[in-house]
Structure formats: C-alpha cells, structure tokens
Amino acid sequence: MLFRNVLKLLAVLATVWFASPLIAQQATPPAAPATTAAPSTAAPAPPVTANSPAASALTSPAAAAAAKPPVATGEHDLSPWAMFMGADIIVKAVMVGLALASVLTWTVGIFKFMELTYSTNRLKNALRKIGEARSLAEAQLALGDKGTVLSRLLAAALREGKMSAGISSDEGIKERAASSFGEIVRAEGRKVRTGMGALATIGAISPFVGLFGTVWGIMNSFIGISKSQTTNLAVVAPGIAEALLATAIGLVAAIPAVIIYNHFARVTKNYMEIVGRAQGASARLLSRDLDRTHSSAHMRAAAE
C-alpha cells in the first residue's frame, strides 16, 4: 500500500514537471491541485527551490522575458577606412586597384596639362617668329629653337631641297617633302596622345570593376546573414556598406577619367591644328625657295 502511494506521488510530480513549460508559455491559470490524499505515513514532498520544476512553473512570462540577456547590438564604425579593413580580400583587391587607377588618372591629367600647355605656347611663339621669313634658311635662323615640331619641319624641307638639287620637277620635290611632313606630324600626334588610352580605359571599366566588388561583397553579406540567422539591420548594414564602397570608389576613379579625357581630346585637337599650320608654313617656304631657284636660273640663262 505504501509503495502504491509513492508511485502516485511520483506520477503527480512527473506531470507537473512536463506541464510546467507549457503552462508558463501560455500564461494560463495554474491547474487545481491534485485531490489525492497521501497518508500520513507517506514521505514528505521535496522542498520547492529556485531550480525545481515547480518554481519554473510559477514564473510569469513577463519575468521570463525580463530575465533574457539583451542582444548585443554594438555600434559599427562605418568610416571608409574601417569599411575597407573589414571587407573581404576580393573586395579589398578591387578597392586597391580602383584607388591606383584614380592616382594614375590624376597623374596623367597633370602631366598632359603641363605638356600640352607648354607645347602649344612654344609652337605659337615659333610661328610668330617665322611670320616674316621669306626663305627656309631665314626662317630657321629666326627660329633658333631646335626642339619644336616646326624646327623639324623646316629641317626636313631644307634637307629635301638639298637632296633634290638639280632636279627640275618641283612637283616631285614637293611630294617628297609632303611625305616627310606627314611622318613628322603623325609622330607628334602619337607623342601628344600618350596616356590618353589609359584615361579612356579607366573611364570605361572602372564602374564595372566597382560593381563586381559590390556584387561580391553583397554575396558575402548574404552568406553572413544565413550563418547568423538574423535579419537585424545592425548586422546586415555593415556588410552591404562595405560592398557599396567598391562602387563608390569605381565612380570616383571613372568620372574624373572621363572628364579629363574629353578635355584633353579637345586640347589635343587644337594643338594638332596648330601643327597643321606649321606644316603649311614650311611647305610655303619650300615652294618659295623652289620658285626663287628657278627664277634665278632663268635670269642667268637670259643673261647668257
């Protein structure tokens, strides 16, 4: 009989143990106490402690919610340097490449500005110096400067005139001189266009390289979200911000490159027009020398 009463008491305790989580979650009134009367000889019930199932059943939902530790939502440093240091290695490589492209853009831009400004002013001054010259020799003497494209054009015209001495066909001399002029002008064009290809390439591909870094970074952010199993903005935002920084750097590299390229394309075109004027001036001086030579020959023949 005693053994049976002990079994009943254990059954009641087991029922309370398994029902206590459900009772605490649903916040329902506690069930009526069991009416089974235990004989005076039964063992006393264990005392209710803080760790016992009965104590957990008496805990209210509000107290349980208050007892939960707060989720750590520390503030993230979203400065550009902090985002760069926290980015993936692929995104870092993209950012470094775009930063180097931006440095190259400004280096080429500053160099081309100084080069074209100096060459344009120098060639204009040279054209003014030979404006009153009546022959190639006189123009070369008035110019004095041996480093301009005009000095090379005059030297080519004089060389062709000397090599064609005794040839009566002026058209052949002018044609050969024009061929030499064309080579000099094309070489000058290649010289002043140095670096323009790099600007065009940077302006064209930098946004797409930055977009690649953004896509890669967002993929890593989604992978991090799946691992953390949370969509909290404080967790998601830093990864997305790091990814978008790659696109921002790509635009910072591309926009100045396009602007500088378009500017120097116009400046180069204007400079080549001045070179064309120098070519025309050299051709006219050569033509005058040829006419003067033939006129002198006719005068000597008439005198004889």
pLDDT computed for residue 3 by the predictor: 41
pLDDT higher than 90, residue 117: yes
Contact 61, 25 (CB under 8 A): yes
Report the share of the chain in percent with pLDDT over 90: 39
pLDDT computed for residue 32 by the predictor: 44
Q: Which of 80-89, 210-219, 285-294 has the largest mean confidence? A: 210-219
Report the share of the chain in percent with pLDDT over 70: 67
pLDDT higher than 50, residue 233: yes
**Higher-confidence residue: 5 or 116?**
116
Q: Give the Cβ contact number of residue 108 at 10 Å.
A: 21
Residue 75's pLDDT band (boundaries 50, 70, 90)? Answer: low
* Buried residues in 113-128 as b, exposed as e (16+ CB within 10 A): eebbeebbeebeebbe
Average model confidence (pLDDT) across the chain: 76
3-state secondary structure the chain: CHHHHHHHHHHHHHHHHHHHHHHHHHCCCCCCCCCCCCCCCCCCCCCCCCCCHHHHHCCCHHHHHHHCCCCCCCCCCCCHHHHHHCCCHHHHHHHHHHHHHHHHHHHHHHHHHHHHHHHHHHHHHHHHHCCCCCCHHHHHHHHCCCCCHHHHHHHHHHHHHHHCCCCCCHHHHHHHHHHHHHHHHHHHHHHHCCCHHHHHHHHHHHHHHHHHHHHHHHHHHHHHHHHHCCCCHHHHHHHHHHHHHHHHHHHHHHHHHHHHHHHHHHHHHHHHHHHHHHHHHHHHHHHHHHHHHHHHHHHHHHHC
How buried is 72 (Cβ within 10 angstroms: 0-12 exposed, 13-18 middle, 19+ buried)? exposed
User: For the chain, how many residues are written?
Assistant: 304
Q: What is the pLDDT of residues 9-37, one digit of tens each?
A: 445 544 544 444 444 444 444 444 444 44
Does the pTM surpass 0.85? The reply is: no
User: Rounded to whole angstroms, what are the CA distances from 163 to 179, 183, 250?
Assistant: 14, 18, 56
Q: What is the pLDDT of residues 238-293, one digit of tens each?
A: 778 888 888 999 999 999 999 999 999 999 999 999 999 999 999 999 988 888 87
The rounded distance, in Å, linking the Cα atoms of 58 and 141 is 112
Q: Which of 12-26, 90-104, 156-170 has the lowest mean pLDDT?
A: 12-26
